[in-house]
Chain A
């Protein structure tokens, strides 16, 4: 569904992402791994339109999204989460999620002024969607709690719910299990499986190898902006290039 061809991003003279081609299939969990600074987050930023690629092509279900602004990409069905999610701390979890469905609504200033039927209908739809997403990630018991009073794990789930509320086809997850304990990590793995079972396609960046190896259908390994390997967890585990990149075959690989 998401096809990336010869994608390159130069920051000055540095190729943060260098000639990467990959294809993510519908309903699969795709993982991107690689040492720090390998260009994983940049790769996500290129797909979601936050950065413009220097060259290459990205297509989503056949539609060219290469140079599309990120809000349009989101509307086409690319959701994403960030390593850290800034939310409105002194508002409830539910209040923070309602805006997630904004991109599927049309109401503007005039609707606000006259409190139009359309606005009322859309606000109800957005609220329902937020509740649905909250239910999906298993947090409806804290819908009325302030974000400031939630745990790290709950926050991460709220970020998932926010991405889900946009009605995406594919979700890009940037280190979804960073900073949570092993038990909670298992919970996130379960949540991701549930998302895929519901027809979503996932693409995640993660450092927790145990989780990746048991969860991913396909793994792509980036190092210094280049794709050095791609395959099933089993193939990746035994790939000499990957072992070298991680354990340090040369002096700068450990970066």
Chain B
């Protein structure tokens, strides 16, 4: 029974059903606030997909991700509020700026490996925060930016309304997931995974490390910038807090819970946690008492997140179902693997 449900979940039909649910959600929601929460969850999910490219697929823990989200948000905010641009040109500019800055940060930081890279990007993230907070002539400092333009609907729709904005975000999210799916199955995605498996092995397979890592990094910062720009267009008032390192760690949590390096993980993790956080709102600060242990249990028992665990479980189900003999064989194999491990 569970297996049948599982098998259905892996079909394209399940994705269509999920999309259909997302499309009718505004009509099912009991109030506009729920639609707003869902739209903001989608915005964060886009950013988490970006993190999934560089950290999930390519294996480089980027702690400046929240910083690039803020760069996208601030580029859009300053261009529309101060420079008088309309939303869409500013939106494209936000993508280009976060890609360009991602490239510049990437060529420096990706020379470092593993935790050195993580520490370096942590610092980059903090520098971005400091620049936004202290460079008052440009960013208005702690006051933040007001009067940010909403996306123009070209006279057809009004994106200052919650529901149309929700559909706009949904459209971007669907595109981001679609592209991610295509990327992860392609030779390029496999190249990123080879780098995650190990730098030296990847190089011995003829993979140019720097070029591919930079590509993954720029893609991830572009996703972050896209999410940031949408966020700015949604809330219309932003401040230096958007660059707070806390957001990066939130995104890492979403990614870990949903399933790092999987296609649906970022969506599941982000939407799931955002709604759990919402439903525990009545507990105020005490919600961490429930939330904390939940995370601990998840990380211990499902280290690959919900999506990763599901895929592994399904794979083993399918494998064990083939011939009856196979199961036995596999047990023997497992035993010899254990033995080999012990011997090594």
Contacts and interface: CB of A to CB of B under 8 A. Distances in A.
Contacts of B204: 48, 50, 70, 74, 79-80, 82, 163
Contacts of B341: 152
Given A146-B315, A149-B330, A112 B209 contact: no
Interface string A84-106: 01111011000100111011010
Contacts of B186: 107, 111-112, 119, 123
Interface residues of A, number: 49
Contacts of B215: 109
A51 to B, nearest CB: 10
Interface in A167-188: 179-180
Contacts of B189: 112
A166 interface: yes
Contacts of A87: 197
Contact of A99 (B190, B200, B315): B190
Contacts of A49: 203
Interface in A124-139: 126
A115 interface: yes
SS of B interface (majority): helix
Q: Which among B190, B191, B193, B208 has the greatest number of chain A C-beta atoms within 10 A?
A: B190
B201 interface: yes
A90 B193 CA distance: 12
A144 B319 contact: yes
Given A102-B187, A102-B194, A149-B330, A86 B344 contact: no
Nearest to B206: A103
Contact of A102 (B182, B190, B201): B190
B337 A152 contact: yes
B213 to A, nearest CB: 12
B333 A107 contact: no
Interface stretch (B36-44, B159-167, B304-312): B304-312
Nearest to B343: A179
A86 B206 CA distance: 16
Interface in B162-210: 179, 182-183, 186-191, 193-194, 196-198, 200-201, 203-209
A112 B203 contact: no
A162 interface: yes
A98 B188 CA distance: 11
B188 A109 contact: yes
B205 A166 contact: yes
Contacts of B200: 50, 70, 82
Interface residues of B, number: 41
A33 B96 CA distance: 54
A98 B194 CA distance: 10
Contact of A107 (B187, B209, B330, B344): B187
Nearest to A79: B204
A122 B205 contact: no
A106 B204 CA distance: 17
A90 B334 contact: no
Q: Which among A87, A99, A100, A145 has the greatest number of chain B C-beta atoms within 10 A?
A: A99
A14 interface: no
Contacts of B315: 90, 146
Given A90-B304, A112-B188, A113-B179, A152 B340 contact: yes
Interface in B196-230: 196-198, 200-201, 203-209, 215, 219
A75 interface: yes
A13 interface: no
B207 A50 contact: no
A71 interface: yes
Given A74-B205, A82-B204, A162-B205, 15 more contacts: A69-B208, A70-B200, A90-B304, A91-B193, A98-B187, A99-B194, A99-B207, A103-B206, A108-B188, A109-B188, A112-B179, A126-B187, A146-B315, A151-B336, A153-B340
11 contacts: A75-B206, A79-B204, A90-B311, A103-B206, A107-B186, A109-B188, A111-B188, A119-B187, A122-B187, A123-B186, A151-B340
Interface of A: 48-50, 69-72, 74-75, 79-80, 82, 85-88, 90-91, 95, 98-100, 102-103, 105, 107-109, 111-113, 115, 119, 122-123, 126, 144-146, 149-153, 162-163, 166, 179-180
